[in-house]
């Protein structure tokens, strides 16, 4: 375990972001907050702080339990952080996922002409019997 780790490296290590570059970019855009304050990539992470990451449409919150600068397997992540996102935020995320699906299963490929017409018809009217 490391004693001090930069926030971009920590977010990458606990698998919040796929690459360290994406973590740094999110920090520069102001999407990462510590204790409600915007931070820089050089900010040092300490155990016990709460990190908020804006991932539209919600803001996820994580409590730091331990520090590590090395990328870890998904099974080890709970030893280093705990998600403390409010249930209302998670419910908003689930509702967003459901409305985006519009009844179409993921991985079916492009909609056919008939599927497209049916989706357009659902959006235009409240009549679901077509």
pTM of the complete model: 0.72
Report all structural domains of the chain as residue ranges with CATH numbers, in order of start: 5-124 (3.10.290.10)
**pLDDT tens digit string along 93-122?**
888 777 665 565 666 778 788 888 887 877
pLDDT of residue 14 exceeding 80, the answer is yes
**pLDDT the model gives residue 116:** 83
Cβ atoms 108, 42 nearer than 8 A:
no
Round to whole Å and give the CA distance between 30 and 39: 7
The residue-averaged pLDDT of 53-74 equals 93
């Amino acid at each position: 375990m490391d004693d001090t780790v930069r926030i971009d490296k920590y977010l990458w290590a606990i698998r919040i972001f796929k690459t360290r570059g994406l973590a740094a970019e999110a920090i520069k855009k102001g999407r990462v907050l510590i204790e409600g304050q915007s931070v820089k990539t050089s900010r040092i992470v300490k155990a016990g702080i709460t990190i908020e990451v804006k991932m539209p449409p919600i803001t996820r919150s994580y409590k730091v339990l331990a520090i590590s600068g090395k990328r870890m397997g998904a099974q080890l992540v709970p030893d280093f952080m705990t998600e403390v996102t409010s249930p209302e935020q998670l419910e908003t995320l689930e509702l967003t996922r459901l409305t985006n699906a519009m009844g179409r299963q993921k991985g079916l490929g492009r909609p056919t002409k008939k599927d497209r017409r049916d989706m357009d018809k659902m959006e235009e009217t409240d009549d679901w019997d077509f």
